[in-house]
Amino acid sequence: MSAAPAPISAPPASVLDTHIEQFPGVGERRAEPLRKAGVKTYRDLLRYYPRRYLDRTTVTPIRQIAEPGEYTVVGEVAAKGMIPGRGGRSRLELRVTDDSGGTLKCVWFRGANYLQRLYQKGETYAFHGKADKYGSSFSMAHPDTDRLDDATAALQTGRIVPLYPGGAALEKVGLNSRGFRRLIYRMIKEHGLAIPEVLPESVRAQHDLIDGNVALRAVHFPRDVAERGRAVRRLKFEEFFFLQLLLALTKGRQEKQAGVRLGGVGGYTQRFLDEVLPFELTGAQRRVLETIAADTASGHQMNRLVQGDVGSGKTVVGVAAMLMAVDAGHQAAFMAPTEILTEQHYANVRGFLEPLGLETRLLIGGQRKALRDEILAEIASGEAHAVVGTHAIIEDKVEFQNLGLAVVDEQHRFGVVQRAKMFKKGQRPHVLMMTATPIPRSLAMTVYGDLDVSAIDEMPAGRKPIETKVYSEKRREEMLDFVKRQLREGRQAYVVYPLVEESESETLADVKDAENGAAELSEALRPYRVELVHGRMLSYEKEEAMDRFKGGEADVLVATTVIEVGVDVPNATVMVIEHAERFGLAQLHQLRGRVGRGGDQSYCFLMASYKRSAESTERLEAMEATTDGFEISETDLRLRGAGDFFGTRQSGLPDLKIADVVKDAEILTEARAAAFAIAEATPALDAPGLEATREHFGRTAPKSLGFARVG
């Protein structure tokens, strides 16, 4: 047997790739909504996975439901009604009865108009969901349902029934869950299941994964819970495996880019750390710097992302990395997303480099031409050792003499194109990206799977964690007394109001809210001075108000959410967030980050109404429990779901159909290790036994990533 690469050829035309409309019983009428749902071929249909299952192996007679919990019941719709609600929205209510003589109410608040047509009085359905007690009877909100074939269906227990994602267009052509079950059943019966095994044998053995075809059959028609579990695990693994293989091969390609060889910590860097910095690096900062030193000495281009919470000290790490380039005789750049931030960084970097006798230049839009020309000349001649700028830095006109390393701050605010441009600038500098938006590890493995990621997971010493308390209206006096005590000690406080409606900009109602708040506080906190800022003020008015707070003329700053990044008043030790239940977790975390910047103990009061969703309560509890941005974003991701959390949608990566980066993090980790091992051993996927893996990869990799079809 030779180990020659598999020949590159088109996959054999097979029944798997036959278009769905060509199968009897499908036809154009059904094919259209199917295509819209992503099902073009038989292969796609097999991978149209159930959204959920209705476990009919344990059906509970309604009368036996004695306490709240999850149940499956099978019963007849005895009555159906639309109950008008507030805002013109009606809810759908079904009264369901069964042979046990019990009655259960099923309620839908969303989609009631559409759903009411799906349920007929006198018909029998299975309902699965959480039953809660209201008064003397139980009801289920938004249960999963399945229409049973006939009235004797109550007897058909003992099966796990797949429920498929649907929608009006599919329902219209008979493709409700029952329709899908019938279609898939018939297709498998007539055309069989003979998909070549796409996971390498070794991977299957090592991770105890069942055969692909067995899994596909079982995901649609599981015999029991255990079999379904094995099938789902295998298919999730497969999805993650191919996603990670894509990332591993992309990364492998990048690592092959030659990069200038730096020599780690040299004279300038050492002096910066020893003489210029007024503090010791944290352990986390040191670890990240060591990694950067190793990356940049490897001869390959660095492509590293550093994640670190607000205030963890990323800038210093960036500057030290820049100095490693300068030590090796190269120039360094620092790119930031806004002019305000860029000027702030420029002042910092220049302050660090000047004592070392090094030259720093600022490059932003709107500089006078004469000045700009002078700066460009200094960059081109090498006279400027470091350049701090906005994306003006990556313009073609900006020619460095020998750029060795570039820091990209707040990288998520730059587009992919801008980042790619930095990679290709000059002789391809090492690139160090930094982000203050912590991304949970599981998501980072997907979105940034092609980058090296380091975390600064430790705060500088001496910072005291902010004490956070959730208070209801009843304890307002207590909160005000506390604030007063802090003010008496010379500290300052923020009070923040959320936007009333979820919208891009402030409305008059929002301003009113804050204005009323400010008026009440002036009264309650007399004689302390209260200042107000909101988004509808003119910018000079805002600036003046901010200056009065910064300068200590005002003790309390009442604000709408306009106080975002950039406010830095170390003397402020109290943050009061009104209507905290309305804020998202990330925003709460950012707002709270405005205090706790000096050495004094700081406090955060989350004023929240009792009338709030379970999810709001979880958010508020997370805020009380931790000040760690990573933990907070883990919770945020869990509460919101991966699709909603930023990043995944825009990442250009293939959609996950069955796997979930949060819930299936363990499988993700396993699949990632397996994929990276294969990619390292066989980057061309051309070893014997990998033929089907290679074919599947070639067929599914997004074309935009430039992997030629290899199948």
Which stretch in 190-198, 305-313, 362-370, 583-591 sits in contact with ligand ADP by CB under 6 A?
305-313
Count of Cβ atoms closer than 10 Å to residue 617 Cβ: 14
Q: Which of 129, 143, 200, 313 binds ligand ADP (CB under 6 A)?
A: 313
Give min distance, CB of 310 to ligand ADP, in A.
Answer: 5
Binding status of residue 316 toward ligand ADP by CB under 6 A: yes
Q: Which of 176, 312, 390, 573 binds ligand ADP (CB under 6 A)?
A: 312
User: Closest by alpha carbon to 456, among 673, 290, 599, 568?
Assistant: 290
C-alpha distance across the termini of the chain, in Å: 20
Token digits for 594?
A: 């405005």
Q: Is the CB of residue 310 less than 8 Å from the CB of residue 593?
A: yes
Give min distance, CB of 305 to ligand ADP, in A.
Answer: 13
Which stretch in 120-128, 303-311, 512-520, 663-671 sits in contact with ligand ADP by CB under 6 A?
303-311
Token digits for 94?
A: 């079904």
The per-residue DSSP string of 203-271 comes to HHHHHT---HHHHHHHHHS-SSHHHHHHHHHHHHHHHHHHHHHHHHHHHHHHHTSB-----SS-HHHHH
Q: From CA 711, how far away is CA 706, in angstroms rounded? A: 14
Nearest to ligand ADP of 407, 692 (CB atom): 407
Give min distance, CB of 313 to ligand ADP, in A.
Answer: 3
Q: From CA 26, how far away is CA 41, in angstroms rounded? A: 11
Establish how many alpha carbons lie within 13 A of residue 416's alpha carbon, considering only the half-sphere containing its beta carbon. 9
Binding status of residue 308 toward ligand ADP by CB under 6 A: yes
Q: Is the CB of residue 200 less than 8 Å from the CB of residue 689?
A: yes
Nearest to ligand ADP of 339, 378 (CB atom): 339
Give min distance, CB of 348 to ligand ADP, in A.
Answer: 8
User: Whose structure tokens read 């000047």?
Assistant: 354
Q: Quick one: angle between helices 691-700 and 225-255, nearest 10?
A: 80
Give min distance, CB of 585 to ligand ADP, in A.
Answer: 18
Nearest to ligand ADP of 402, 626 (CB atom): 626
Which stretch in 49-57, 313-321, 539-547, 680-688 sits in contact with ligand ADP by CB under 6 A?
313-321
Contacts with ligand ADP in 379-438 (CB under 6 A)?
436
Q: Which of 165, 166, 179, 311 binds ligand ADP (CB under 6 A)?
A: 311
User: Whose structure tokens read 């991977």?
Assistant: 203
SS3 28: helix
Phi and psi at residue 91, to the nearest 5°:
-115, 155
Which stretch in 155-163, 278-286, 363-371, 647-655 sits in contact with ligand ADP by CB under 6 A?
278-286
Give min distance, CB of 588 to ligand ADP, in A.
Answer: 17
Q: Which of 109, 114, 134, 279 binds ligand ADP (CB under 6 A)?
A: 279
DSSP run (H or E) holding 303: strand 303-308
Count of Cβ atoms closer than 10 Å to residue 201 Cβ: 11
Nearest to ligand ADP of 124, 315 (CB atom): 315
Give min distance, CB of 463 to ligand ADP, in A.
Answer: 8
Contacts with ligand ADP in 109-138 (CB under 6 A)?
none
Radius of gyration of the chain (CA): 30
Give min distance, CB of 353 to ligand ADP, in A.
Answer: 15
Phi and psi at residue 177, to the nearest 5°:
-55, -40
Binding status of residue 315 toward ligand ADP by CB under 6 A: yes
Nearest to ligand ADP of 46, 388 (CB atom): 388
Q: From CA 709, how far away is CA 702, in angstroms rounded? A: 10
Contacts with ligand ADP in 429-448 (CB under 6 A)?
436
Give min distance, CB of 532 to ligand ADP, in A.
Answer: 27
3: left (phi over 0), alpha (psi -120 to 50) or beta: alpha
Binding status of residue 586 toward ligand ADP by CB under 6 A: no
Nearest to ligand ADP of 196, 598 (CB atom): 598
Contacts with ligand ADP in 450-489 (CB under 6 A)?
460
Binding status of residue 282 toward ligand ADP by CB under 6 A: yes
Contacts with ligand ADP in 35-74 (CB under 6 A)?
none
Give min distance, CB of 432 to ligand ADP, in A.
Answer: 13
Binding-residue total with ligand ADP (CB under 6 A) = 15
Q: From CA 647, how far away is CA 409, in angstroms rounded? A: 17
Q: From CA 250, how far away is CA 640, in angstroms rounded? A: 29
Q: Which of 30, 56, 181, 314 binds ligand ADP (CB under 6 A)?
A: 314
Contacts of 126 (CB under 8 A, 6+ apart): 54, 56, 59, 72, 73, 74, 145, 146, 148, 153, 161
Residue-level length of the chain: 711
User: Closest by alpha carbon to 166, among 319, 52, 2?
Assistant: 52
SS3 465: coil
Nearest to ligand ADP of 316, 608 (CB atom): 316
Q: Which residues pair with 432 in a beta bridge?
A: 304, 407
Nearest to ligand ADP of 280, 624 (CB atom): 280
Nearest to ligand ADP of 153, 276 (CB atom): 276
Nearest to ligand ADP of 124, 312 (CB atom): 312
Nearest to ligand ADP of 145, 285 (CB atom): 285
Position with the least CB separation from ligand ADP: 313
Give min distance, CB of 354 to ligand ADP, in A.
Answer: 16
Nearest to ligand ADP of 102, 308 (CB atom): 308
Which stretch in 54-62, 134-142, 275-283, 643-651 sits in contact with ligand ADP by CB under 6 A?
275-283
Which stretch in 96-104, 111-119, 277-285, 619-627 sits in contact with ligand ADP by CB under 6 A?
277-285
Q: Which amino acid is at 24?
A: P
Question: Exposure string (b/e) for 404-417, b if CB count within 10 Å is 16 or more?
Answer: bbbbbbbbbebeee
Residues that bind ligand ADP (CB under 6 A): 279-282, 285, 308, 310-316, 436, 460
